[in-house]
Structure 1
């Protein structure tokens, strides 16, 4: 049996740069039930050999908007423009012409949501890593009950 790190990946994939990643990260707004259904469908598709995007789902449009601000989208675009990696959070902050602390906080938040990975090198510097060539936002607005924020169906 293969030893695993805390993410459940085999040790050889403990560095996210060594893990297989799809070309597309799909960010959606959908209910838990819909996200679960989509996950089961994707598992079947992968079993049949069909490539699938990575998916991060939010429960509401408001939650998505709270996390994917214009500044964080700019950060993601900058990472994609540099082949998905920055030398360090400091270098990323410099490229964005922003304060280190706010960039660090943004990278940490995006990492907490599974959108960006943080890689710690031997020298202990933290490197933001975005392995996707494209990010696709799927937000479908539908009629909702009074008082509820629209979400994807």
Structure 2
């Protein structure tokens, strides 16, 4: 049996490029209950051999907007265009015409939220986005009669 890595993957998958990934990353805003139900449904679908997108969910639209700024969306689009791991964070910053530190911070934040991966090669960190597309799936609904809105 292969020992798991720190993130729970077997050693042979230490490099995220070696892991199986779906072609689509779906970014949603869902409550915990909705996320749990969707996870159950995805597990059942996967057990039948059907492909499901990877899903990253945020609790509120505000949280999603805090993470997915215009600059970070630009960064994700650049990685989608590369189709593999970027040469380095420095090279990505140069391609985007941005400061290294700002891009490094954005890459770290996006990785912390599961929106991209970091391939470590020696001292170098290469941002990696294994998906062909990212789909933002945000549903806005009005208040139901009798419901109180959550405090801001």
Q: Shift of residue 80 of structure 1?
A: 0.7
**Cα distance in 2 between the residues matched to 1:49 and 1:66:** 35
5+ residue gaps, structure 1: none
Q: TM-score, normalised by structure 1?
A: 0.93
Provide Cα deviations, 1:41-78, integer angstroms capped at 9, x if missing partner: 00000001000110000000000000000000000000
Partner of 2:119: 119
Conserved? CA contact 2:85–2:119, under 8 Å: no
2:109 alignment partner, SS class: helix
**Cα distance in 1 between the residues matched to 2:2 and 2:83:** 31
1:92 alignment partner, SS class: helix
5+ residue gaps, structure 2: none
Conserved? CA contact 1:31–1:59, under 8 Å: yes
Alignment length (residue pairs) = 148
Q: TM-score, normalised by structure 2?
A: 0.94
CA RMSD of aligned residues (A): 1.2
Partner of 2:11: 11
Conserved? CA contact 1:5–1:11, under 8 Å: yes
Conserved? CA contact 1:117–1:129, under 8 Å: yes
**Cα distance in 1 between the residues matched to 2:54 and 2:84:** 15
Partner of 1:148: 150
**Cα distance in 1 between the residues matched to 2:94 and 2:80:** 16
2:56 alignment partner, SS class: strand
